[in-house]
Chain A
Amino acid sequence: MTYNVKINDFEGPIDLLMGNVTSGKIDVNSITLFSLVLEFIEAIDARSTHPLDTLSRFISVMTTLLRHKCRSMLGKTSEEDLDLDEISSAEEKELLLISILGATVFKEVSLEIQRCIEETSTTIARSVGPDLELVADIADPLRKISPKDLRDVFERMVSTVEQEVIDASHITTVPISVREVGEAVMGKIITFKKVTFAELIKFSTSRFEVVVSFLIILEGARAGVLILEMTEIDDKEGVLVSLGAEVSEVEFEKFAELIRAID
């Protein structure tokens, strides 16, 4: 994109202005560079976008105009040679020379480093565990873990709070197998002969099981298979359940069948 300027009698692209100045058609001293810059700033402020090529071209032209103006103001007879091209070139070459020398030095140093590495590799360190190259290749699992992270994880592990489980027992009927409860109760009575009611329901998981167990021993007492008596255990009153003294195995098995039949 071309930037047009309007200055003195000239109006047109800035490149044409520079061409006229270079060819001597326009006296550079008649141009106020400051006003050109102000106009340019106003122009770019008025735009929503600033094309990079226009900006850079303007700066380039202004630099050249400034140089021309400086040379013109100093005059051709001036003893001071203001050949910016030459100065810039000389500086660049100095820098290039320094840069090449620096790179050369480090190239030489790199050879010395290589020599040192080769010399050292002729001796082998006593090694314990994996070789350092191998260790370097293994990703460190704790790399981004701080001691605080480790502590937090440890605390979470040791302070696990048991989640409260809300079951549906208070709103729905929990199915109880009378047969299973009966067999458990009968099994304990046959094994221990005499057992407290507390012992019988020790591993019951719900109130329904307790109720079923109680009904079974009540039924057993009514049928004359079981004997229930109040007793004192550890200063507490309890019910002692025992097999009837004159109950035969056949009679007990009949009762057991009855319980199973309920299921």
Chain B
Amino acid sequence: MKAADEMKGNGAFGPLTQEVVSSIEALLVVASEPLSASEISDMLAVDLEVVAESISTLRRFYDESRRAFYLAEIGGGYQIRTRPEFESVVKRYIDLSYKERLSKAALEVLAIVAYRQPISRAQITHIRGVNSDATLRLLVERGYIESKERDDGPGKALLFRTTRLFLERLGLYSLEELPPLDEFVPDARVVEDLEEALFSDSSS
């Protein structure tokens, strides 16, 4: 059955689902941040399963009716976003030039925090081999990472974690969607070459 029919109440879920679907759509239209399934469930007083079904119906409806926007699963919730193919049109209206790009150093620190969180400043510096204090401050200011907890060990170091904004910027629903780290490990030949270079250096 088409999503449009389900929206009209002709679907298997009946008029209640149609009302829920429309209510969810209303919430998503006014939400400035992604809304999680549990938030929607609480606001509409319906089960999570009903929310999931309704979201699915809504998403299919947008796809089938070829709307210029889609329902994205992002930042631990759902958000209405324009489709990538309309990027050039939308950017004629919205000036996105102010959106700052992250430097290589910032991206590296972000990568380390994303995969090793919670992680201290010293641990990040150790992995990178260079002081990363300024980069960390920048990422905190821009809302990609935050430090809300401290290490139990000596010194009670601040521990950094990625934020919801980080997920939103990367288009991820959760950290579990990050690609596995082993995909980025250099292959054996690169490691061997590096090893050879290091040890030949010492022998010479």
Residues of A within 8 A of B (CB): 89, 93, 96-97, 99-114, 116-117, 119-129, 132-133, 136
B102 touches A93 (CB 8 A): no
A-B contact pairs, 19 of them (CB 8 A): A93-B199, A96-B198, A99-B127, A100-B194, A101-B185, A101-B194, A107-B108, A110-B108, A114-B102, A122-B87, A123-B84, A125-B168, A126-B69, A126-B80, A128-B31, A132-B32, A132-B165, A136-B142, A136-B165
Interface stretch, picked from B11-19, B47-55, B91-99, is B91-99
A122 touches B108 (CB 8 A): no
A105 touches B94 (CB 8 A): no
Q: How far is the CB of B96 from chain A (nearest CB, A)?
A: 7
Give 1 or 0 for each of B67-81: 1 = CB within 8 Å of chain A CB. 001101010000111
Point out the residue from A97, A119, A122, A133 that lies within 8 Å of B98, measured CB to CB.
A133
Point out the residue from A93, A107, A119 that lies within 8 Å of B198, measured CB to CB.
A93
Return the 8 tightest CB-CB contacts between A and B, nearest first. Answer: A120-B171, A110-B107, A109-B111, A108-B184, A122-B84, A116-B170, A123-B81, A126-B80
User: CA separation between A238 and B32, bound complex, in Å?
Assistant: 72
Range of interface residues on chain B?
Answer: 35 or more
Q: How far is the CB of A101 from chain B (nearest CB, A)?
A: 7
Q: Does B65 contact A (CB under 8 A)?
A: no
The B contact surface, by secondary structure, is: helix
Complex contacts, B96 vs chain A, CB 8 Å: 121, 124
- Return the chain A residue nearest B127 by Cβ: A102
Q: Does B83 contact A (CB under 8 A)?
A: yes
A103 touches B128 (CB 8 A): yes
A129 touches B32 (CB 8 A): yes
Q: Does B117 contact A (CB under 8 A)?
A: no
A113 touches B107 (CB 8 A): yes
Q: Does B186 contact A (CB under 8 A)?
A: yes
A110 touches B104 (CB 8 A): yes
